[in-house]
Chains A and B, each alone.
Chain A
Amino acid sequence: MDFTTMDTATVTRSVTGSGERYLELFLREYTSVFKEKVNPSCPKCITEYLNRYKNHFKTMANTCNYRLHAKYENIPLEFGSPILVNNGNITDEYAQKLLAHNNGQRYFSQIPKTKASNNKHQKSNLKKQNANDISANETAE
C-alpha cells in the first residue's frame, strides 16, 4: 500500500478488503520509519504525520547533492516567495538561490564538494588576479 500517493481523508476513512483501517496500517508504517509515538485521535497530527512521511520518501528519492539542515527545511526561496524549499524539492538551482542569501551557507548540512572547491578555486584565482592587478598598478605608478 503506497501512502505517499494518498491524502489525509483517504488514510483516515478507508478500510481494506479484510476490514483493516488504512489509518492503523499507516500509523504502524509511520512508527516503524520514525520510531516515535503517535496520537491517532488528533486529525491535525495525522496530516502532519502524512506530510512528514511523504517528504521522507521524496527526500530519499531526490538526487540533488545539496542538503538543508532540519531547522531550515521549508525556507522561502526568496523574500516573499511562495516556494518553500526542503530536502524533498531542493534542486541545484534552488540551492544556488539560497546560497545567495546573506550567509546562505548556514542553511546547508551538505554542499557538493566539487562546487565548493570550484568556488574556492574561483575565489583564490580572483584574489591572485586582484593582487596581480594591484602590483601592476603600483609598478605603473
Chain B
Amino acid sequence: MAAERTLPLLSVRGLKTYFHQDEGTVKAVDGVSFDLAPGATLGVVGESGCGKSVTARSILGIVDRPGRIVAGEIHFCRDRGRPGAHGDAARDVIDLAALPPNGPAMRAIRGAEIALIFQEPMSSFSPVHSVGSQIAEAIMLHQQVSRREARAKAIDMLRRVGVSLPEQRVDQLSNQLSGGLRQRAMIAMALSCHPILLIADEPTTALDVTTQSQILELMRQLQREDGMAIMLITHDLGVVAEMATDVVVMYLGRVVEQAPVDAIFHAPKHPYTQALLRSIPRMRSRSRERLTPIAGSVPHPYDRPAGCPFHPRCPQFMAGRCDRQEPALRPVAAGHAVSCFLYS
C-alpha cells in the first residue's frame, strides 16, 4: 500500500516541445522533468515565455500548431476507480506523450480525468453559447447522461462553485457574468466530470485581489472534497506560497529547481530561484529600499544561450563550465532537485 501511495500521479520525463517555424525552431519546452503526487498542489513558476503554458498543453496534447512534442514521456497514473480502467492489481499508467493528440484515448482523458482552466475566462468561453450549455457539453461528452440530467448536473456544479442563482446563470452568456463569476463557471466546467488532476494556467492573473483570494479558496475547498491534484501555473510567488505543496521553477523551457514549498522559500538553491525571491517586494523592508530586479532580460527564443540557459544573467556564473555544458536536474535533498553546476 505504501508503495502505491508514493507513485506519482503525473510523472513528466524529459519533455521537449518544439515549434518549427520558417524563421527558426522555438524550443518552448526543452527537457522538463517533474513529478506530481496525488492530491498535491504543484506550483509551476517562471517568467513569461519560460514554457509553463506549453508544458500544460503538452500534457493534454493541445499544443497549438506548429508545436509538437518531439521527445519525452508523460506518465499518467489513471485512477483505478474509473470505468474502463483495469482491475486492482495493475496500475493503469499510460504515456500521454505517445498518444495521438486527437485520438479517442487522449480525448477520453481530456476533460474527464485531466482538466484545464485558463487565464482569461472571458475569452475562454464561447461568446455565442450559454455558459450552461458549455458545461453540459463536457458532461454529456464523458458521461452517459441525457441532456436534462446534464443540465441539472451543470446547475449543481455552478452551485457548488459558489455561483448564486445557478438556475438563471446557466442560460446566460459569458459576457453577462462578472470576472469572478466567469472564473467560477470555468472551474465548474473543468470539474464537472470530477477529474483527478486539474491544471490551472494562471487562473487568477486576470482577477482583482479580492476575487483572487476567493477563487483560490474555492480551489482549495474543491481539492479537499474531491481529492484531486492541482498543477498551478503562475508567475505570482504569493499565490504559490499560499496554495502549493511542491514547487517547480522553470526558466527558458527547463526545470531549474523542484522542491517542497517551504524549501523553495526558505532554502532556495538555484541562483534563479534566489534572484526571484529577492526581487519580491517585502512588507518589512525599509522604506526607500530599492527592489532588486534580475539583471539582463529573457533571451530571444531563437537566440538561446549555449550551456545553462541562465548563465548570462547568473551572479554565480562559472566561466568555462556554465556556458559550455548543460546542467542536469539532480536531487540535493529529500524531494529537492536542482539543475545547477554549483551542486554537481
A and B are interacting partners: no
Using a CB–CB cutoff of 8 Å, the interface residues on chain A facing chain B are: none
